[in-house]
Structure 1
Amino acid sequence: MEAEARAAEVYDSLDGQVGPILFGGHMHWGYWDAAHADASFAAAAERLAQMMIEKAEIGPGKKFIDLGCGFGRSGMLLAKEKGCDLNGITISKVQQLEASRLAQADGLQDKVRFVHGSALELPFEDRSYGGGWFFESIFHMGHERALREASRVLKPGALLLLTDLPLLDHTSEQFKEYSRERFKCNYVTKEAWPALLHDAGMELVEMTDITENVMPWIVPKLKEAFEVHRREVRAIDADAGEVFIARWIKLFQYMSENLGYIMLTARKSAAGAHASA
């Protein structure tokens, strides 16, 4: 699929490898507030991961699926803290190999497994997972199909956690077109979520808008991160100089001006009839 191929291309590239250097091993943004205004991008990304982990209703002996797992850090933290078994899937072969290496190095090879593949065609059985999340990943996949496939593999009553970047009232058509053409990303509004979940056989439990804790912070914190990790970035590619950094900052500015940020919790309905239709 064109969108998935483009996502794999992006995450296998230099850009995809720089992300975890700046974000402390994670592949998502962070959460800041007045009490943590000095937090680095990496520390804020870790904090957002902990917020998601706290919401997960999963425990020892249960299986959790990480849909778009990146380099695996967030999923491995969850497996450690909750004692669950975790399967992560990523369209990026680079991410899958590195996540597997990190799990082995951390002694988690018996609890955590990372798979190279598509979250739209999961190689897992129906109703086999007690929980899961899309952690800043679903907009690469297409919300409808991704939710239906997630619902297929979740057990009735299982909790699905998400972070997403919703469209705003002022989001420009130019930005939407740029996102589709450059990264094959498609975004939806906050208001679209209840119906999306219903059609996938799930019910909305909670939605929290944390735009003000994410978007105003990401550009200044990104600039700080590049200053701190400039040598590490250059070690990946000696040509990753000022032009490369400026391109990242411009992209993050563009996204922060046109998108919000939400955390969402949903539960698969007892029947899950819509997802299996």
Structure 2
Amino acid sequence: MKDLVSKLDIEENGATMNSFNPEKLVEMYDATGELGLYLIFDNQLHFGYWDKNNPNASLSEAAARLTQIMIDKSKILQGERFCDLGCGVGVPAIQIAKAKECFVDGITISKYQYDKGKKLAEEAGMSDRVRFIQSNALAIPCDDATYDGGWFLESIYHMGHRQALREAYRILKPGATLLIADLITGPNTSEEFKTFAREQLHSDHIPKEDYPELLDEARFDLIEIDDITESMMPFMVPKVKAGFKQYEAQILQYVQREVMDNWLRVFESVCENLGYILVRAKKRVCP
């Protein structure tokens, strides 16, 4: 792991980085875009979902499947307002806006993601329904109780769970559904990996057992926690390898092969150390 940390080349002056440092998070995601990694995910920078119905799906196809699972779990209705807290370049935001005929605000702290999201929404003819806001997701520029629903799709671990849930409670209307797709710690998670995740990936991961108390503290009622680790982690590394091979020529226009190898090691470490859950909760009508 130490070799991986040194090779990632995302340290600055040897300083230890805070996992919730907004500036460093921006640097990481802006750089990720510039490295061409969005190619292998087809602009959906989140994990994929595989089961007996799609065992041979590519990484981008399986990522779209996970987005659809999240959409299916959402209770958002036609014409209502939805918030994607940590939206990436906005593909899931565009997809839920299309599927549910709702209005979506995508929140990203990254200028690269903000610009790319706006472009993709325009290309999809969805600029009237999908809006992007460049902002820290812990301080969204909106009134209290603005949104009818929302989700954290692989983003809450960058923000701190308590702080993120507190802001989600503020912006959602009473009774609104909140969805969370989260990478979680488990028995196989090493302390070395936790340190690496905080300092280099700006992520702080928690066990799924913490969720009931955290949600209750934030005044959400837990509806379900679905552990889908086995439909994701065994597949991710082979699919990432295949994606890198497919888009090798394009990615090598941006970076040297060593960078691709280092990112593959990151995925290997994540899959070895973390699990994956989907959480559905509801904001309490009476605090």
TM-score (norm 2): 0.91
Show the counterpart of 2:135: 117
RMSD: 1.3
SS of residue matched to 1:107: coil
Q: How does 1:1-277 map to 2 (within 5 A)?
A: 3-14=21-32, 18-235=36-253, 237=254, 240-271=255-286, 273=287
SS at match of 1:166: strand
Deviations for 1:89-134, whole angstroms, at most 9, x for unmatched residues? 0010110011011111211111110010111001011011000000
Whole-angstrom distance in 2 between the partners of 1:233 and 1:57: 38
Alignment partners' CA distance in 1, 2:134 and 2:228: 31
> 2:69 corresponds to which letter in structure 1?
M
The answer to whether the Cα contact below 8 Å between 2:188 and 2:274 also exists between their aligned partners in 1 is: no
Counterpart amino acid of residue 45 in structure 1: A
Alpha-carbon contact 1:11-1:17 (below 8 Å) kept: no
Indicate the SS of the match to 2:282: strand
CA–CA distance in structure 1, aligned partners of residues 131 and 285 of structure 2: 28
1:230 deviation in Å? 1.3
Amino acid in the other structure paired with 1:146: A
Deviation at 1:232, TM superposition (A): 2.4
What is the number of equivalent residue pairs in this alignment?
Answer: 269
The answer to whether the 8 Å contact 1:90/1:118 transfers is: yes
> Following the alignment from structure 2 to structure 1, what is the Cα–Cα distance between the partners of residues 248 and 27?
23
Alpha carbons 1:66, 1:87 under 8 Å: kept: yes
Tell me, in whole angstroms, the C-alpha distance in 2 between the residues paired with 1:213 and 1:118.
31
1:20-42, Cα deviation, whole Å (9 max, x unpaired): 21112111110012332211000
Query: What stretches of structure 1 of length at least 5 have no aligned partner?
Result: none
Listed one character per residue, the Cα deviations across residues 37-76 of structure 1 (whole Å, up to 9, x for unaligned) are 2110000000000000011111222000000000000010
Greater fraction of residues in helix:
1
Deviation at 1:16, TM superposition (A): 6.3
Q: Between the two proteins, what is the percent identity of the paired residues? A: 42
Amino acid at match of 1:12: D
Moved over 6 A (4+): none
Distance 1:31 1:16, change over 3 A: farther
CA distance in 1, matches of 2:203, 2:241: 24
* In 2, Cα distance between equivalents of 1:16 and 1:258: 27
Question: Aligned partners of 1:16, 1:29: CA distance in 2, in Å?
Answer: 19
> What is the deviation of 1:265?
0.4
Q: Which runs of 5+ in 2 are unaligned?
A: 1-17
Alignment check: 8 A CA contact 2:37 2:251 kept: no
Q: TM-score scaled to structure 1, two decimals? A: 0.94
Which residue identity lines up with residue 213 of structure 2 in the other structure? Answer: A
Distance, in Å, in 2 between the alignment partners of 1:93 and 1:128 is 24
Question: For structure 1, which segment, 120-129 or 225-234, has the greater mean C-alpha deviation from structure 2 after superposition?
Answer: 225-234
